[in-house]
Amino acid sequence: MSQIKYLLDEHVNPALRTGLKARWPLIEVWCIGDPGAPVRSTPDPDILIWCEQHQFILVTNNRASMPVHLTDHLSEGRHMPGIFILNKRLSMNDTILDLAMTWGASDLEEYRDFISHLPLSL
């Protein structure tokens, strides 16, 4: 079973990582701009390549262009561990719980080449 790792897009509230790590310290959560992660303002297609190479699921608010970027990425013969689109109507606590449950109960391959919208647990 491949363990899920998350990369938070630069526009995702960093409190999401803080909340996840506070309750589940074993969850690997990186943010754009962290050492070793893509730098801030990295173009989305390059972020998808980084996620593919490092096997991170991208967590983002980008509903508009991310489906296009994923389609382009896949059409180049590439793959993606997955993209989770946040739901702005979901509370921070519920988002944290949903990501934690997904991390604990899922395999990375379940989300390969897909965009999933939170909450996943409903």
Could you check whether the bond before residue 119 is cis, i.e. omega within 30 degrees of 0?
A: yes
Domains present along the chain, CATH in parentheses: 5-117 (3.40.50)
Residue-level pLDDT at 120: 78
Q: Do the beta carbons of residue 118 and residue 93 sit within 8 Å?
A: no
pTM summary value: 0.95
Whether 1 has a pLDDT exceeding 80, the answer reads no
Compute CA 85 distance to the chain's CA centroid, rounded to the nearest angstrom. Answer: 8
Instruction: State pLDDT tens for residues 73-115.
Output: 999 999 999 999 999 999 999 999 999 999 999 999 999 999 9
Could you give the C-alpha distances from 82 to 13, 22, 23, 52, 102, in angstroms and in order? 19, 24, 23, 9, 12
Whether 31 has a pLDDT exceeding 90, the answer reads yes
Instruction: State pLDDT tens for residues 51-82.
Output: 999 999 999 999 899 999 999 999 999 999 99
Residue-level pLDDT at 45: 97
Look-up of token digits 């109507």:
89
Could you give the C-alpha distances from 67 to 43, 46, 72, 113, in angstroms and in order? 14, 14, 9, 11
